[in-house]
Structure 1
């Protein structure tokens, strides 16, 4: 069995002089608390505080970074234990799922998934055996035993990971019951919700009518017409804010945020209620609602996050069989300059508005996003996201945006993950990459080392704090 040993200089730059500087900068940030201002760990994980079930369902089944790689090499999702929508037969033996994962460990060479998984096994689980066909059962048993220890319950790991604050992502129709439990347990200011209205602002999809009815039930406001719908969304935002929310989150195919006339918005909404809305009208309404969400953020101070540019559920058959978030989401080219002009013209200089922009389209970093953030006070650039939260992706981000936006028009690191155990690994990688980038500036005599250290600390801790503070509070 291969031993797993993490190199202390992993992901730091090559070359003795620059690496020595990077080590010193990294040491200034490695022990800082983690601010996890956007993620997808289910609030129930902390509210219930149960033992993680087994290694496969902790590290493989729910992680679409992992499953998509295996699928790309011909391993069906059924064999990885991913549940079917119709309840059809899939692999139920977690040990078999784990064996399949270990048998394909070589597929993850050079990927960020391998970096995170190695960190989880070596640093979090404290096990020095690498995955592989010959180590699968031994590794499974060691991890399973570790998960039985009291220190590996989710709430205990909040302390072990030094997580100061973690935000979940919750639909507009969430009851926030789990967050209520957490408040009762004294964790209400440490685990907070984020308002995600996509299921109700994207019209015409299967289940939309049911979602809008649920919105009405929870708000107590009639959503039978557009005006009531908007009032109900405002009410739910207020409920989220009272539960500790700092931000909203919006996953749209396009960043377009063009407002409609009230008459047009009412007409399209009525068509959706009647089941006759066109795709074009639904897309126009989604852009209109982005504008309206920005307007509401100016009023209630919730930070607005936009995650555009992903064609969700690219494979219709996979979506029909397994549902959403199974790894078949593919990036598309994204345009920001014209798309966001209405929002930024209206609110981009409003001190109560904060807009954090994410993208999976690197071509817009220096051409569009950095110039936008470099002039509009409301805008911050979110960290490299999804396919780009990799060592080289993070380096390219710094190289392409810093010359125009600087460091202080970025949001700091946002881990954006469902995989709870990977959170420390992701933050650690970000801090190493930033240390390396800053070290290069020092060695090239473009930045004094004391300022580089100060900047690294700001990127790791102060900027996320400031970027996600409630506006006007």
Structure 2
């Protein structure tokens, strides 16, 4: 180690309370659950990785380019996406020297101080790659060469890492029109039940999309149904859901701008669908998305799939970035989201069905105590998803537990999901969630609001059992 280098170390008590009594309790709780298998029921890793089981090319393409947490921070400090090698839609040349890109990252690694990204990345560097010097401009080449050498080995092939990370099951997310060829390739390998898909039908239910009508036609072509009719369209969606279930899916996912739902009459729904195929107004598109959430809840009651609703992201806020690079480039921003009135049409129809499993997420933390916890604390069909996306952080996880537990309890939540494209960070993300839950439980024990035996049971449930139960795994 050079004289100018800094030691990279992970403190064993990280994220536990500073209070000695609470810290000791958290240590005991964590010791029992730290090595439990990882259940990753919602994420965005590439199924091709596991189907082909090929080595990754280099550190930059694996660790940096898929991770919008990384490049949104760099972009905020004036580093262009072209400099980071992000491909442009128009084919304009971007940086292709991956070592140079990694040097840019290393030179700006200080920007991530205090962020969850820093915690995840340090854990990857330390635990996955065995590095013991901190990332700096001076160690950038050491990092890049060390990581690339490791990635070329058998031990770093995707399936080997599934075993090393103790990932019991991981779900990817695919659109309704996806042929699922990578999941099909997994059949017979023994990994088909460990790497499963999730049905995300936004491409055929969001009438705001420029390709909506064309996608609905493709849906008809794939299923053999007449999707110019309302009933044919709904039947085509049922057929696709069955196809996804045949490739392991146990859940659907719906990323709508709002949580609005609707319960239209048959004639109203047919007329709305016809208007949307012809070119929807903004009001019609919003109403149609709302109607489709209710339709999808009904289909989940039929086929048993868990339904996830992820509202509240203002997608592609930066129009320039969207036009040049497309979606998912770090320009999505949380928006205020109302749930009580928005979900009422769906809940009046299906909310009392104990066989239905709907998981609600939010990017609007003001709704935790006021809306989401009371809703989930009453309706049998509802559960609360964990702190998500911008709030997938130690502080965000603590805010979630503090605000929802008194009204919804622990058992109307569903554990943790990592919701990530960054495969190597999955163990670190789950470890953060486990540590924060143990910290929260330790406080309850220290305040004599919970006995320690109950806390051990809860730590196990929050880490493992509730996720398996909620996602029917």
Q: The TM-score by the shorter chain falls in which range?
A: over 0.9
Paired residues, number: 469
* Equivalent in 171, 185, 191 of residue 195 of structure 2: 191
Q: Deviations over 1:357-414 (max 9, x none)?
A: 0111110000011111111111111010000010011011000000111111100001
Query: Hey, what does 1:103 align to over in structure 2?
Result: 107
- With the length of structure 2 as denominator, give the TM-score of the two structures: 0.97
Would you say 1:182 and 2:189 are equivalent positions?
Answer: no
Secondary structure at the aligned position of 2:170 is classed as: strand
Are residue 90 (structure 1) and residue 94 (structure 2) matched? yes
In 2, are the aligned partners of 1:37 and 1:468 still within 8 Å (CA)?
yes
Task: Give the deviation of 1:431 after TM superposition.
Answer: 0.2
The Cα of 1:113 is off from its aligned counterpart by 0.3
Q: Secondary structure in 2 aligned to 1:216?
A: helix
TM-score (norm 1): 0.97
Q: Does 1:303 align with 2:309?
A: no
Structure-2 residue corresponding to 1:353: 356
Distance 1:327 1:18 in 2: 37
Alpha-carbon distance in structure 2 between the residues aligned to 1:352 and 1:174: 28
C-alpha contact (below 8 Å) 1:298/1:353 kept by paired residues: yes
> Partners of 1:157 and 1:91 in 2: how far apart?
29
Output the aligned Cα RMSD: 1.1
Partner of 1:428: 431
Cα deviation code 1:113-148 (max 9, x no counterpart): 000000111011111121111111111001111101
Offset at residue 217 of structure 1 (A): 2.2
Mapping for residues 416-455 of structure 1, pairs under 5 Å = 416-455=419-458
Q: What's 1:333 paired with?
A: 336
Paired with 1:375 and 1:204, the residues of 2 have a C-alpha distance of 33
Moved segments of 4+, more than 4 Å: none
Any residues of structure 2 matched to 1:398-409 within 5 Å, and which? 398-409=401-412
Partner Cα separation in structure 1 for residue 218 and residue 164 of structure 2: 38
Match of 1:81 in 2: 85
Residues 47, 181 of structure 1: 8 Å contact kept: yes
In structure 2, what is the Cα distance between the partners aligned to 1:269 and 1:62?
36
Q: Check conservation: 1:260, 1:285, Cα contact below 8 A.
A: no
User: Aligned equivalents of 1:269 and 1:465: distance in 2?
Assistant: 36
CA distance in 1, matches of 2:253, 2:27: 35
Shift of 1:266: 2.0
Distance 1:412 1:112 in 2: 19
In the other structure, the counterpart of 2:135 is 131
Counterparts of 1:141 and 1:199, CA distance in 2: 40
Distance 1:87 1:125 in 2: 34
Structure 2 alignment gaps of length 5 or more: none
Verify the 8 A CA contact 2:51 2:183 in the aligned structure 1. Answer: yes
Secondary structure in structure 2 of the residue aligned to 1:362? coil
Q: Distance in 2 between matches of 1:401 and 1:255?
A: 19
Please report how far the alpha carbon of residue 268 of structure 1 lies from its aligned counterpart in structure 2 after TM superposition. Answer: 2.7
Q: Which residue of 1 aligns with 2:145?
A: 141
For residues 40-59 of structure 1, the aligned pairs below 5 Å read: 40-59=44-63
Separation of aligned partners in 2, 1:154 and 1:73 = 33
**In structure 2, C-alpha distance between the alignment counterparts of 1:21 and 1:142, rounded to whole Å:** 38
Structure 2 counterparts to residues 363-442 of structure 1, below 5 A:
363-442=366-445
In structure 1, runs of 5+ residues without a counterpart are none
Cα distance in 1 for partners of 2:172, 2:29 equals 30
